[in-house]
Structure formats: structure tokens, C-alpha cells
Structure 1
């Protein structure tokens, strides 16, 4: 019997499989897409995620990131990372590097899709395979999560979406820039010597170019060839009842998601994947729920706070001015997230 079956071969799933292999367990990944897998992503890896990749032994190339900069109109404020920096990396390069590392460790990837799970006291059956445990890393719209009844009804409020495209221009900064407007946010991440990714966040209904037009200070900097098609993701918020259901553990976006506003998705996917495997290896899978809450607490609190300020008419336009007036507080928030 397989020790760990992983549904989804994105960063969270591949990291979980690699950690399982390092713990001496047989791991198999079920993934329907051709590799390398691309998706809408800000493509900035926070320092904690870079450390997690290094600990896993995954060799990822990209552009070093020094910190985070907020920009709105003529105002800007930035905070550098403490210690090791972050990394701007194409999603396809990140996926290829994690797939290489997982394969080096003996992880097998099979084509297929996990749509439902049957489990008993000894194991699980999914995608025609039998395993002791299933790690669901199948993304925001996780079919496994839905099939287990772990997804409550959507909460009130407008849904937010993300759209990403690349431009063949030389990066003008070694920070991730977050440009703010009344209509949303634009994340600019250097990912190559002549390549930047621009991810625009906002409410649904508008196309990429319409959303980008809300940032008149940014668009003149993107006078280069369009280097990729637009990719989208959303609705971003995903509430989850719990992350452990019998012999199934949820990791990455499948485990719940607040928003891309603070840019920690990849880092959290990597560290929660490791925590899930650690719980399985110790024979205490129930410990993963508390570990997930601890690892994601700061992200959830700060992201919820920013979203509430963003959605309230009285505070929506105060975020960047407040960060400029209180640069130490802004730096403390960036350091807490890294």
C-alpha cells in the first residue's frame, strides 16, 4: 500500500510528497495537467518560503527580492526583509524545480484527477489507488474538500479575483511593488533580467486591461512586449471547516485562503505541506490542525485587517498614507509576514 497519496501536483503537493519521501514514506502524486504547471500567481516568494525551498533541497533560480514597496499616486514607502531576502520566480520555474526534487527523492507522479475519496479505518482509495493517507493539495476549488463536505457556503461581501500577465521589460526595482488604487491592487514582481509579472487584484467583472488602467503611474513603466497570456484565479477567499477529515489532510490553498493581498501563498503552501507530513510521520495526524492555525495565524490576521480597511469607505484610501506616516509600523508588518 502507498503511504501517502497526494492530490494535486502544484507547489504544495510536490513539497508534501518530497517531505514524505525524506521521512522514508512512499509518496505518489496524482496530477491531471502537463508540466510545468502554470497558474495565476504573484510569483514573489517571501523569505520564509525561500528558506523552506532550501531546506527541501529544491534549487530554484529567480531574481532576488530585497523587500516590499507600497505605491499610491506620488506616495511610496518600502521595507526591506530582515536576514535572507525573497525571490521573484516564474511559477513554471518553481514547479519544475519542485518536480525535479520530488523525482530525485523517488516520488512518482501519475496522470489523473482525484474527484472523490473513499476511506476506512486502514486507508483511503482515490483515483484508482490505495494509500494509508491522502494529502489534498488540489487548489482553491479543491474537489476533495468539496466531496468531504468541508466547504461552508460563501460568506457575504463581494468576491475578489486575481489576473496576471508578464511584460518583457527590465525590472526597475528589487522590491515587490504593490500599487494601490480605489479599484484594486497591482503586484509587480521582477522574475527575470527582462521580465516582470504584474498581478492585478480586484472584484470580478472587469478585464485585465481595464483593471490595469486604474494605475496610471504604473502603465508607462510597462512599455514593452506582452510576454504571456492573462491567467486568472478566484474567487480568492475560501473558508474551510477543518483541515483534517479522517485520513485526509488539506494543505496549500485547499486548506483555506483569505486573499493574495499580503503575497504569502507560496510560502504558506510550503510550510503547511511540511507540517502535514510531520504530523503523519509522528503518528499524530490530528496535530496538523493546530499546526496549520499556528503557521498561518499572522498571515490571516494581517490580511483580514487589510481587507477590512480596504472594503470600508472611510479607511480604503488611508492604507498607503498611514504606512508612509508610520514606516516603522509598516516595516514591522512586513517582518512579521516574512
Structure 2
């Protein structure tokens, strides 16, 4: 089987890549071994830039309007509204269904196989597929975009994972953080993503429907979600009596580093291309920017231009997120963050809207 581009991974970034490919006159095929709607741990908040990117693709998932970000800690609050328009809280499953419908409408084939082996020469990439350990069809294309997630097998197979040793020098040990998420049947009490700051982590509350909120906890501690929520008494009081309607999903460790985003004719996009942290909630928006940039590079027959575009799209996210993660490692600085944001609203508003603007 042949195509212009093979997309490995049928999550939101992979499906968006396929849609961008069709818009550019390319013929894509998507490999995704998981059947049906795919769910995963996710903050589920779309920044205005990410929502605009979906609109440009003709995708308009239902959800709950978001006007900005609110930080909460120990009775203090700092709030910043988006200046580039509304964001939207959208269930991960709802987003996947909307993108899947657009892919079907575009006539894009999604094959129920995983990528078992990726090899390439100067002109073509060959992908050997499998399903439950059994051999599937072999696909050939001039290009491959791997959007196969945080722990990308394709990235690992291509040797693009970066460990924490550079020559003989050992980098500072990274902070390992993990995420947990579930949903409560309750009417949202606001139209902002609410971030509760605790000693060891943060709790994110995202309205995703008129009667549903998603609650995600990011922490350096690998505790059950119910134990982690004990750190946020104000939030626990809000949720008291609200039915839990989804099972807990987890992800991590969140930090994943790559040496390069391009290996010959294979490009990495989304979480597969590297990940700092989920702290700023920009994952989907950033992944959509990667998908667009990868297809533009393929259309121009200039894969190395993707490295430059990837860095440009990722720079502000990486800088702000890495800085915030490092600054809040000590517990005493975590205690000062929300009071500082409340005291300096222009700075907080500027940081939020730097992340919220479209990634081009």
C-alpha cells in the first residue's frame, strides 16, 4: 500500500496531521491500532489559538466556553482573561470523535494497525505494520509523521530519545511529574480553567459541559487521586457530593526530551516530539501547530524546515513552562506564586495570553 504521507498515531494530533495533508493536496493514511474513541489523561482545555486551529480545519467540538485562567491557593486568587477570544473546555473523547468525523468526511483511511518497524532510504519510508502480534500490510510513502504519543515507540526506535547524559557530563536530574484525571457530574462554578496550587502539585478544574467538570492533578508524588485531592480542601469542598462519572486515567512521567524532531523522512509531532510538562495546559494547541508545520515542511520537500518551525512553535511554551516548573520546585516558592500573580496582574495576564495566542 502506498500514500503521500503515513501518519503513525490516530489521536488528535495524528488526525489533524491527516486533515492538514488533505488540505495541502496530499494523500495520507493513518495507522491506529486502538479501536473506537480514544481517551487519555488530559486537562481538556483548548486555548483560543488551538480552538482557532480546529475551526480552520472545519472541526467544531461541543464543550464549555473558557474565558481565561484562574490561580487559587490558600484563599488567594489571581485571574487572567484571554484577549484573543474564547477558549473551550472539551472532553478528550468529544474532541477525538469530532476529528474522526472530519477524517471520515475527507475520505482518509484509518488502518487498524500499529507500526512494527520503520525503515527508509533517500526516497521512501517503509512501515511494516502489525495487529495483536500478527503481521499487517506493509506501507510505503515518501514521508512519515509520527504522532504516537508521550512514550512514542517510533521516537525510541529512531534513537531520538535524549537521556540525561551528555558526553561525560550528567545533566541535573529532571523533576518527574505525573498526571491523573477524572470527571465529576456538577454544574461548573465558573468559566475559567481553575488551577489550585498545593505543596506537591496542582489541581486543574476544567468545565467541559454545562453539567460536567474535569479534575486533573499534576504532582511529583504518585498517590491515588483521592489522596492527592486532600491537598486542596477548597476544591474538595466544591466537589463534595458530586458523582464521579469517569474512571481515573493517568500519564507520566511527563518530561520527555528529544535530540531532533526529524530523522530523514520521518517527522515527530505532538507529544512524540518532546514534552516539558502539562502545567500550562497548552498540549493540544501546540500539537496542532506541530501538525500544520510538519505538513508545510513535507509540501515544500524541506523536512529540516520543520526543525525550525517546531522550535518557533514550541519556544514560548517550553520557556514559560520550564521556568515555572523550576521556580516552583521548592515549597516556599510555590506558596508565593499565587500572591505574586495577584499582586502583578499585568505580568500574569501577559504570560497567560502569550500561551493562548495561535501558534504559527
| TM-score, normalised by the number of residues in structure 1 | 0.98
Query: In structure 2, which of residues 189, 199, 206 is the aligned counterpart of residue 172 of structure 1?
Result: 189
Which of 140, 150, 155 in structure 2 is aligned with 1:145?
A: 155
Task: Indicate if the aligned counterparts of 2:84 and 2:353 stay in contact, CA closer than 8 A.
Answer: no
Q: Which runs of 4+ in 1 moved over 6 A?
A: none
Q: Distance in 1 between matches of 2:122 and 2:57?
A: 31
Q: How far is the alpha carbon of 1:122 from its aligned partner? A: 1.5
Give the deviation of 1:313 after TM superposition: 4.3
Q: Identify the residue that residue 200 of structure 2 maps to in structure 1.
A: 183
Q: How many Å apart are 1:278 and its aligned residue?
A: 0.6
TM-score (norm 2): 0.92
Partners of 1:319 and 1:59 in 2: how far apart? 35
* Equivalence map 1:105-120=2 (5 Å): 105-120=106-121
Deviation by residue 1:225-275 (Cα, 9 ceiling, x = unmatched): 001000000000000000000010000000000000000000001111000
Give the match's secondary structure for 2:78: strand
Give 1:116 shift: 2.7
Q: 1:126-137 alignment to 2 at 5 Å? A: 126=127, 127=129, 128-137=138-147
Deviation at 1:59, TM superposition (A): 2.2
1:304 lines up with 2:303 in the alignment: no
The whole-number CA distance in structure 2 between the counterparts of 1:83 and 1:158 is: 32
1:314 Cα deviation after fit: 4.4
SS at match of 1:114: strand
Q: Which residue number corresponds to residue 259 of structure 1?
A: 277
Partner of 2:295: 277
Decide which of 209, 216, 227 is 2:233's aligned counterpart.
216
CA distance in 2, matches of 1:115, 1:337: 36
Counterpart selection for 2:222 from 173, 184, 205 = 205
- Aligned pair count reads 338
2:99 aligned with 1:101, yes or no?
no
Helix, strand or coil at the partner of 1:116: strand
Distance in 1, matches of 2:218 and 2:309, equals 29
Task: Tell me the SS of whatever aligns to 1:324.
Answer: helix
Following the alignment from structure 1 to structure 2, what is the Cα–Cα distance between the partners of residues 293 and 161?
A: 25
- The 2-side partners of 1:270 and 1:204 are apart by 30
* Aligned counterpart, 1:56: 57
